[in-house]
Amino acid sequence: MARIFITGSADGLGQLAAKELINLGHHVVLHARNNERGKQALAKVPGADSVLIADLSSIDETKALASEANALGTFDAIIHNAGVYRVSNNSVSADGLPLAFAVNSLAPYILTCLIQKARRVIYLSSGMHLQGNPNLDNLPTGTNKGSCHVSYSDTKLHDLIMSMGVARKWTDVCANAVDPGWVPTKMGGAGAPGNLEKGFQTQVWLAVSDDPGATVSGHYFHHKTQVHYLPAAGYAPVQEKFITLCEQITGVRFKYC
């Protein structure tokens, strides 16, 4: 049975994926933003091994989360699921960074670099990545930290770039990204038209299935099917630029082997 770590598993697709994986007999470590949400997560997901706590908008807390995850041993799969959507343009993190960029883009980067390599890593992207800026010229480096605008679409493109960069660099790892569809979670809203069940099944499949279709790397999935994505995400220079910018912003180096 596999051991899986899922960020943002106090609610939504992360929580649903956790429940499904436990139902399938796997071991799941949850993650929540604070102790209160951690208690709620454990109550909602009976059978989870434990819950780790960190506010992913904080670079320091995210680094500490990686250490705590490593203290539990190596995971077979990590699902980078946590995310925020409706944040105002001028919301900034404790580090003075655009909030959505900190949570959706930087946290998966930091955790990817600092958590011991899992054989499978899954990044939650979105169809909205197609509207993201592949030039990466709006990222907060230097003095423009809090003033630049990084949209949700940009961050979901970053997740896709990250997954494809990891797939290219780590040939011993299956790294893929998922568009779960517009589904009725706290983020998606009650009126979202997508199928909630299908919204988490692809991540579960990529995390633990031995199907040949699930043991690939460097792909973008919707409902277990490889679908069209912004070609720039697959370009090595774009991936390298993203990694270099993340290194500059976080001080965390990407590990190359």
Give the DSSP per-residue string, 159-218.
Answer: HHHHHHHHHHH-TTSEEEEE---S-SSTTT-TT--S-HHHHHHHHHHHHH---GGGS--S
- ∠144-164-166 over CA atoms, to 5°? 85
92 near ligand NAP (CB under 6 A): no
Stretch touching ligand NAP by CB under 6 A, among 82-90, 140-148, 168-176, 231-239? 82-90
DSSP H helical segments within 45-116, as ranges? 59-71, 99-100, 107-114
83 near ligand NAP (CB under 6 A): yes
27 near ligand NAP (CB under 6 A): no
Choice among 109, 152, 220, 229 that is catalytic: 152
- The CA-atom distances, in angstroms, between 110 and each of 57, 66, 92, 103, 238 are 11, 8, 18, 10, 18
Q: What minimum distance in Å lies between the beta carbon of 107 and ligand NAP?
A: 7
The values of phi and psi at residue 226, to 5°, are -70, 130
CB-nearer residue toward ligand NAP: 63 or 240: 63
38 near ligand NAP (CB under 6 A): no
> How many residues interact with ligand NAP (rule CB under 6 A)?
26
Cβ count near 137 (within 10 Å): 10
234 near ligand NAP (CB under 6 A): no
3 state SS of 250: helix
Which of 6, 14, 174, 219 is in the footprint of ligand NAP by CB under 6 A?
14
Is 156 annotated as catalytic? yes
Is 186 annotated as catalytic? no
Asked if 70 and 115 count as a contact pair (C-beta separation under 8 A), the reply is: yes
- The CA-atom distances, in angstroms, between 191 and each of 102, 178, 196, 197, 198 are 27, 21, 12, 15, 16
Beta strands in 89-131 (DSSP E): 120-124
Which of 124, 166, 175, 249 is in the footprint of ligand NAP by CB under 6 A?
124
126 near ligand NAP (CB under 6 A): yes
3 near ligand NAP (CB under 6 A): no
Stretch touching ligand NAP by CB under 6 A, among 134-142, 175-183, 217-225, 230-238? 175-183
13 near ligand NAP (CB under 6 A): yes
3 state SS of 4: strand
118 near ligand NAP (CB under 6 A): no
180 near ligand NAP (CB under 6 A): yes
Q: Give the catalytic positions in this structure.
A: 152, 156
* Residues of this chain that bind ligand NAP (CB under 6 A): 8, 10-14, 33, 37, 55-57, 81-84, 103, 124, 126, 180, 182-183, 185-188, 192
